[in-house]
Copies of this chain bind each other. A is one copy, B any other.
Amino acid sequence: MSADLRTLRERLAEISDLQRSVAVLFWDQRVTMPPLGAPARAEAVATLGRIAHDRFVDDEIGSLLERLRPLEESLEYDSDDASLIRVTRRDWEKERRVPSELRTEMLRAASDGHLKWVEARRNDDFAAFLPVLERNLELKKRYVECFEWEDSPYTVLLDDYERFMTTTEVAEVFDAVQPVLTELVREAPEIDASFLHEHYPEDLQRDFGQRVAETVGFTEGAWRIDPTAHPFCISFSTRDVRLTTRYDETGLHSLWSTLHEAGHGLYAHGISETLERTPLAGAPSLGLNESQSRTWENLVGRSRPFWTHWFEPLQATFPDQLGDVGLDDFVAAINRAEPGLIRVDADETTYSLHIILRFGLERQLIEGTLAPKDVPEAWNAGMRELLGVEVPNDANGVLQDVHWSSGGIGYFPTYALGNVISLLIWSVVREAIPDLDSQLEAGELGELSAWLRDNLYSLGRKLTPKETIERLTGSPTIDPQPYLGYLRDKLAALPAGA
């Protein structure tokens, strides 16, 4: 290995160690930390983050990347080393454009905004949240000015979550998706799902979720699940993956939440070990990462074949709640479409509509065609138009999500892109594993998991999101038709008026 490459790898490995340590601090904070530990924890996270950032934007990294150009050009485009140099260079150039002073202000505004948002939501008080939104937008505008853009300033924000994706491209996808979904929701049959709202004891949910998660393809001793208030997945290496789940005893939501986080976890778990401790040890984008959480939660976890295997064990676990329920009714209930107010409670069909609403508002806010004070009105009008529901108050409307309070603008679209991308990849999976349904019916998830690992997860962040999609599907286009077709077929198969 060239001395420069060795030095670059050493520097990046140290930065990765710092970032992984921040991840451990974060996991501990959300899962185990006593509440009064928060102030000291915030200091530690800030210090490690600052050291990692300072080390990354150092001139030395730039010089190394410059000197490594000839080596990069002599190597295969998708080799580990060429990818490392190429991807790191773009990350470095992006990171260098942002003055540390602005970064610090953004961090401070985020933590301050979060506190005010918690309060504002509790009091259903948009007026109290308005200054937070205005402040974050002002900072985002200063952030946007650090970069060039073509179609919309929003593209700059999007790029932090979905590299190389433009606002125009997202709008094209969403413009195709929205009318179909709105129509599907309007026509969806009403389904009896009352048995999903019985009392389901937490310990039984935990045991069942653990059993299912053990079959999705994790190596033993390389992962765990813990309870938390807001589920997430984080990893400290490909061999230390942490899923978290929230247990709500008034339903079985934790099962799909576990499968969702397991999808994220399998991505992290499947990244090639040769990419460990480099900036390539991640998913290419949030959208691709989300495509896999959605794959395991929905395409697998709400499918009839999957429940053909698992419904009996579920009934045996919850005989009082599900003993009298048939498989068909269960599958219908977990696949029903039902408009509601809250994004995180939304079903598979309505979910993307919640996102499309937020994307539209964010874009207008950043492009300056919507004033922050007018957001509640626009929100409520959008909910009426897209989902046909009336928003009773801001706490259950515009104030419901944490993202805007901490400056997470440009993040939302990745959720819906994930839904769309999941079906692009699923079509390829179906061709590659023709008897997938029989495998699911037999409770066998190993081949599916290995295929996704070998063909997708192992690539890590070497390729751009579009290159990754093209590698799998043959085309970089994010075509929404497979996604729409899937939902259409699914809803059509539901018993009308059951």
Which residues of A come within 8 Å of B, CB atoms? 13-14, 17-18, 20-21, 24-25, 27-28, 32-37, 39-41, 43-44, 46-48, 51, 219, 221-224, 226, 236-237, 239-241, 276-277
- CB contacts (< 8 Å) of A236 on chain B: these are 37, 40-41, 44
Tell me, in angstroms, the Cα distance from A446 to B438 when the chains sit together.
65
Q: Is the CB of A34 within 8 A of B224?
A: yes
Instruction: Give the top 8 A-B pairs by smallest Cβ distance, nearest first.
Output: A37-B240, A40-B237, A17-B47, A36-B239, A36-B222, A17-B44, A35-B221, A36-B221
Q: Is the CB of A239 within 8 A of B32?
A: no
A228 to chain B, nearest CB (A): 13
Given A37-B222, A44-B236, 5 more pairs with CB closer than 8 A: A13-B43, A33-B240, A34-B240, A36-B221, A37-B236
- In the complex formed, the residue of B with least CB distance to A40 is B237
- CB contacts (< 8 Å) of A14 on chain B: these are 47, 51
6 inter-chain pairs at a CB distance below 8 angstroms, sorted by A residue, are A21-B24, A21-B25, A28-B28, A32-B226, A37-B222, A37-B240
A43 to chain B, nearest CB (A): 6
Tell me, in angstroms, the Cα distance from A223 to B36 when the chains sit together.
8
Q: Is the CB of A239 within 8 A of B34?
A: yes
Q: Is the CB of B40 within 8 A of A240?
A: yes
Tell me, in angstroms, the Cα distance from A226 to B226 when the chains sit together.
14
- CB contacts (< 8 Å) of A40 on chain B: these are 20, 236-237, 239-240, 276-277
Tell me, in angstroms, the Cα distance from A40 to B35 when the chains sit together.
28
A54 to chain B, nearest CB (A): 11
- The secondary-structure label for the interface of chain A is helix
A444 to chain B, nearest CB (A): 23
- In the complex formed, the residue of B with least CB distance to A218 is B34
- CB contacts (< 8 Å) of A43 on chain B: these are 13, 17, 277
Which of B39, B51, B237, B277 is the one whose CB lies under 8 Å from A37? B237
Tell me, in angstroms, the Cα distance from A36 to B240 when the chains sit together.
7
- In the complex formed, the residue of B with least CB distance to A17 is B47
Tell me, in angstroms, the Cα distance from A359 to B464 when the chains sit together.
61
Given A37-B236, A236-B37, verify A44-B28 contact (CB < 8 Å): no
Tell me, in angstroms, the Cα distance from A44 to B22 when the chains sit together.
10
Tell me, in angstroms, the Cα distance from A51 to B17 when the chains sit together.
11
- CB contacts (< 8 Å) of A36 on chain B: these are 219, 221-222, 239-240
Tell me, in angstroms, the Cα distance from A409 to B36 when the chains sit together.
36
Q: Is the CB of A44 within 8 A of B21?
A: yes
- CB contacts (< 8 Å) of A25 on chain B: these are 21, 24
Tell me, in angstroms, the Cα distance from A40 to B237 when the chains sit together.
6
Tell me, in angstroms, the Cα distance from A39 to B226 when the chains sit together.
22
Q: Is the CB of A224 within 8 A of B17?
A: no
Q: Is the CB of B44 within 8 A of A20?
A: yes
Given A17-B43, A40-B20, A40-B239, verify A34-B223 contact (CB < 8 Å): yes
- CB contacts (< 8 Å) of A34 on chain B: these are 221-224, 239-241
User: Which of A14, A21, A25, A219 has most B Cβ within 10 Å?
Assistant: A21
Which of B48, B219, B221, B224 is the one whose CB lies under 8 Å from A21? B48
A270 to chain B, nearest CB (A): 14
Tell me, in angstroms, the Cα distance from A40 to B222 when the chains sit together.
11
Q: Is the CB of A239 within 8 A of B39?
A: yes
Q: Is the CB of B18 within 8 A of A47?
A: yes
Tell me, in angstroms, the Cα distance from A277 to B44 when the chains sit together.
10
A150 to chain B, nearest CB (A): 40
Tell me, in angstroms, the Cα distance from A21 to B45 when the chains sit together.
8
A347 to chain B, nearest CB (A): 33
- CB contacts (< 8 Å) of A37 on chain B: these are 222, 236-237, 239-240
- In the complex formed, the residue of B with least CB distance to A22 is B21
Which of B24, B47, B241 is the one whose CB lies under 8 Å from A28? B24
- CB contacts (< 8 Å) of A239 on chain B: these are 34, 36-37, 39-40
- CB contacts (< 8 Å) of A222 on chain B: these are 34, 36-37
Tell me, in angstroms, the Cα distance from A320 to B477 when the chains sit together.
71
A495 to chain B, nearest CB (A): 43
